[in-house]
Structure 1
Amino acid sequence: MTWDDELATLFADLERQAEALYGEERAAELADRSRAEYATVSLASRLMASMGEEVTLDVLGVGSIVGRLDRMGDGWCLIRSLGTDWVVVAEAVAALRGASERAVPEAAWSPLTRLGVGSTLRGLAAASARCVVHRRDGARHEGVLDRVGADFVEVRPEVGRVQLVSYASLAAVASRD
């Protein structure tokens, strides 16, 4: 082997070592970026990617709700479960199982997802749907949703006085109509 061949072999070996080091550094950098990027992923964006799938939500004051994720809005989701529709307030979700591994960024969401829980409750009130309103503390109010204010909903029971339930205490609304 001539000195030119030895020098070329040496340079080739140094180049392979440099590529290996660059690959290791690049892999570590990509892992760091991936972790940093994932820190911006919200529970709502994971739920959005799970649209149409069966999920289990553990909801404060309610327990586990299992069903198909049908709709999403600003701060709420709709779960269809064995003849019952559940409007679940996102802040009352303690845990989620069955979610997609993906996430859909909010920039890609439909403009309809900007509708808040009040819009959904107004729809139930207009339909005179019989509902069970679940609060985060475990209390329940059964009746027809009557009127929906800016930060509360009126529940008219069959017997008794109208009850006002604040959105801040709301966990979920179950409707069978």
Structure 2
Amino acid sequence: MTAEHPTKQQTRTSGLNPKHVLYGIIILLGLAICYLLFRNWQLTNQFRHERTLLQVTAKNNQLLVNQQQLTFSMKTFAWAVRNAMIQNKPGEINEYFNTLVKDKGVQEMLLVDTKGKVTLSTNKKNQGILFATRFPAYLLQQQDIYFNSKTPYELSAPVMSTNKRLGTLVMFYKPTPILPAMSTDN
């Protein structure tokens, strides 16, 4: 009996099941997405750090430049006021003050005599008062040009004749920021 049995054809597969391939691809995509999210987080943190560092550097540079310029200005202004005081020209000093206070940033200028009384001020309410009743007294005790970086900036300069102090110039100055306020946003 020769019966013909249908022969089974055996097909050999390479051993890769399509489900396994699909799972492998999904796992690789998941890993790639995780890596990209981590890298994005890393770069965002690096950017924030560099931006903060740049803002701090810019702010410090602005402070240094402001201090140099304002200190130099106070020195030359003290000489001009000195000359007007020696020549007994208070109107000229008042003109200087009114011109200077028009500049952006200058909040108030005061001339204080050696007894601590405000003789001239761009704010007329302060004329005639004792300086220490409304303002920090340490500004009058400085022997050289003084700069304090708190906002507004505080500056004072002694007005000197050849052998004695004639008074003290005091200026309050609010700087214009060159950068927007630092924020925690992106």
TM-score scaled to structure 1, two decimals? 0.34
**More strand per residue:** 1
Rg larger for: 2
**More helix per residue:** 2
TM-score scaled to structure 2, two decimals? 0.33
